Amino acid sequence: MTEKTADIIIIGGGIAGASAGYELCKEAKVIILEKEAVPAYHTTGRSSAIFQLGYNRGDPLLNILVRASADFLYHPPAGFTDHPLLTPRPMIHIATADNQAVLDDLQARLDAIDVPCAFIDGGELLPILSQDYQGRTLQEYGAADIDVNALHQGYLRAIRAAGGEVITRAEVLRLQKHEDWQVSSSKGIVTAPIVINAAGAWVDQIAALAGVAPINIRPLRRTVILAQGPDGVNCDDWPVVMGAAEGYYFKPDSGKILMTPGDATCVAPCDVLPEEMDIAYGAHYLSQATSLNVDRIDRSWAGLRNHVADGHPVAGFDPEAPGFFWLAGQGGFGIKTAPAMGRLTAALITGRGLPQDMRDLGLAPDQISVERLQNHIIENKAHA
């Protein structure tokens, strides 16, 4: 069995672990342990990510992290990728005539965090909208498709180029704290003073192996379907369409229509598969919102979106386990905020504190701390 040493071990090779590794490899020896044959198998690799300043109905904290990621995504460093990471795409939020209050509320939320938006006629940008949705529509500006694979692979290439390692099929079996952390996996033993727990849906299981209290991660199943676009029509420039009341969205994808019903069903960590009911909901919403005849689904899949109680990310050292760093709970926004979360993680681990640009935008340490969750768990137990 092989034995290696590093400055930092990262458990999990998805976008969270990869972005942190990218920033940390500039000043430390990093080893990523990934239990699957290919990194990003369960979540990152199944994402249809959209860059959006007003994500989650204008969540102020997530807006900060998206803004702090924008420069990297629009202008990646030389050599990081050979083509743009972002491709601009219009975005509209739709609602029926009797649900216009939802759009008014959303506009107020977006205005509050300075996200440009305006009411338009829905049919102007998307003529196939059904009559129920062709009236007053809210357009949110600044949205773009994200090339998820290019972003993720750019991170991993840079880590390897800096002398770091990405070890696949390395399921973690045991974590022990001596002077340093010793992580035993199916590929051998790695020792380092710092362990980053970026294991996605499995972060609480990794914590249990280390004897660390959980953060009560909630893996949520999200379904995606791919349906035929209209015959003889080029839909590549169509907007991404968000159902303001229902939570679904759809957008063009290589000549087809990619749609998610917006499901968020709590499941155990697993290689998740879509449920027939959720596939049917996706087809139903697409048929209701457009004039498309959705009589055949070309493909469907599901991924895991991992949340904690307040829906915000977790980044920081565990107060009871020296050298054990949590990087978790980025479900649904992990890709669009990856550059910011990577920089933030590196700054916290190296003792520099929150990056100044994020402080200037209003980010506070307690918004992302582990303590906020563990205190919440203790309070809930006390009242049980």
Residue with tokens 């996605």: 200
Whole-model pTM: value is 0.94
Tens digits of residue pLDDT in 232-241: 888 899 999 9
- 90-108 residues labelled b (16+ CB within 10 A) or e (exposed): bbbbbbbeeebebbeebbe
* CATH superfamily of the domain spanning 90-142+218-307: D-Amino Acid Oxidase, subunit A, domain 2 (3.30.9.10)
- 277-293 residues labelled b (16+ CB within 10 A) or e (exposed): ebbebbbebbeebbebe
For 3-47+148-217+310-383, CATH gives 3.50.50.60
β-strand pairing of 240-243 with 91-94: parallel
Tens digits of residue pLDDT in 265-294: 999 999 999 999 999 999 999 999 999 988
Domain ranges of the chain: 3-47+148-217+310-383, 90-142+218-307
- DSSP letter at 290? B
Q: What is the rounded CA–CA span in Å between residue 50 and residue 88?
A: 10
Res 381: pLDDT: 47
Residue 331 has pLDDT above 80, yes or no: yes
Residue 149 has pLDDT above 80, yes or no: yes
Kindly indicate the confidence band of residue 373, based on its pLDDT and cuts at 50, 70 and 90: confident
Residue 297 has pLDDT above 50, yes or no: yes
Mean pLDDT of the chain: 94
Q: Average the pLDDT over 219-232 and give the result.
A: 92
